[in-house]
Amino acid sequence: MEIKVLGTGCAKCKALEKATIEAVEKSGVQATVTKVEDIVEIMQSGVMTTPALIIDGEIVVKGKVPSVNEIAALLTK
């Protein structure tokens, strides 16, 4: 599973990255978590509101920081 956390480095973006890593550990899913901070790459992904979370190429979260449990549920569905 490939997970991308999109954000330019703001507090919410860092919080989403931390929560995502915790959710991966909690759920036991095999995944690679990548942080994308380049604004051009973020916009090319179709995201205009950060932070955002992309799982296997699908945007699943935009503009908010879900809880660790919410992210874990996204990983296991």
Region 45-56 average pLDDT: 94
Q: 7, exposed or middle or buried, with CB in 10 Å at 0-12, 13-18, 19+?
A: buried
pLDDT at 25: 95
pTM to 2 decimals?
Answer: 0.93
Catalytic residue among 1, 10, 39, 43: 10
Known catalytic residue: 23?
no
> Any idea where the domains of the chain sit in the sequence?
2-76
Cβ-Cβ contacts under 8 Å for 16 (sequence gap 6 or more): 5, 7, 51, 53, 61, 65, 66
Q: CATH number for 2-76: choose from 3.90.1150.10, 3.40.50.970, 3.40.50.300, 3.40.30.10.
A: 3.40.30.10
Residue given tokens 């703001």 in the structure block: 10
Whether the per-residue pLDDT at 77 is higher than 90: the answer is no
Known catalytic residue: 52?
no
Catalytic residue among 13, 54, 72, 74: 13
